Amino acid sequence: MELHLAEFVQRKHYFHSYERRELAFLHRFLRAGDVYLDVGANVGVLAIEGAVAVGASGRAVAIEPIPANVGRLRANAALQTAVAIDVVQAAIGASTGRLSLGLTAQQASVGNMGSYSSAATESSIEVPLRKLDDVVDEVIGPERRVRLLKIDVEGMEADVLAGAAALFDSARIDAVLFERNSTLADGQPESILEGHGFEVYRLAIGARLRPVGNSPQPGREHVAAAGLLSSILAWIRGDARLETLVALRPADAPHPGA
């Protein structure tokens, strides 16, 4: 990959500290010949790993709205000699049209180009908005199954799922890897996915899956922790503000202790 180290995500990946659980899960869950969809692909870190996991006989589709990220995503996809990645430049939502995305002042200050959202206005840009149903039918066809859908869209997960109604109604998606923001009261994606018949798990260390709501409550030993230490402890325990969840159809659900 070609990485621009002034940017937050690319710098983390260069130092092997970016989405390590997610990367491990891709290689554990995906198989040769599978279809992998990456919504919010950024510069291609997880898209490339997913493409490697599904191999030349599979399909990897990377979807990203931010032009600067798409340029580097296409360059990184072109560097892959053994696998192919289909790149789609668009935001994914519940409808089609145009969408304004921006950064918060904090994310702009650290150069995090992966944190554009519809709720922020700093460095705002307008991008195409499409439904996942339409993109999938166009790129991989109306019949082929999707082994894994990964979503990283800064709070727009419910909109992405709403625009994939046909895929879910026809049970063409086996699993969804996504972020949950525990500070949001409504529109949590896990509730939507449970309504589609999925079982939801927390992605733990070593790509192991744990039931949601099974994390221990902060005890007395954590009360004095503050700042960075507090954040690290929350991430290890699994009760941080952002956590990665995996929704599986019952046939793919892990055995107890897996």
129 pLDDT more than 50: yes
Lowest mean pLDDT segment, chosen from 88-92, 103-107, 131-135: 103-107
62 exposure class (CB count in 10 Å sphere: 0-12, 13-18, 19+): buried
**Second CATH level (architecture) for the domain 8-215+241-251:** 3-Layer(aba) Sandwich (3.40)
Q: Where are the domains of the chain?
A: 8-215+241-251
Q: Which tens digits make up the pLDDT trace of 232-252? A: 444 444 444 578 999 999 877
Q: Which tens digits make up the pLDDT trace of 155-168? A: 889 999 999 999 99
Q: What is the pTM of this model?
A: 0.82
Residue 8: pLDDT band (50, 70, 90) is confident
Q: What residues have CB less than 8 Å from 87, skipping those under 6 apart? A: 41, 62, 63, 64, 70, 73, 74, 77
256 pLDDT more than 60: no
CA–CA dist 195, 208 (Å, integer): 23
Residue 218: pLDDT band (50, 70, 90) is very low
Dig out the tokens for 63 from the structure.
Answer: 């979807």
**Integer distance in angstroms from the first to the last C-alpha of the chain?**
33
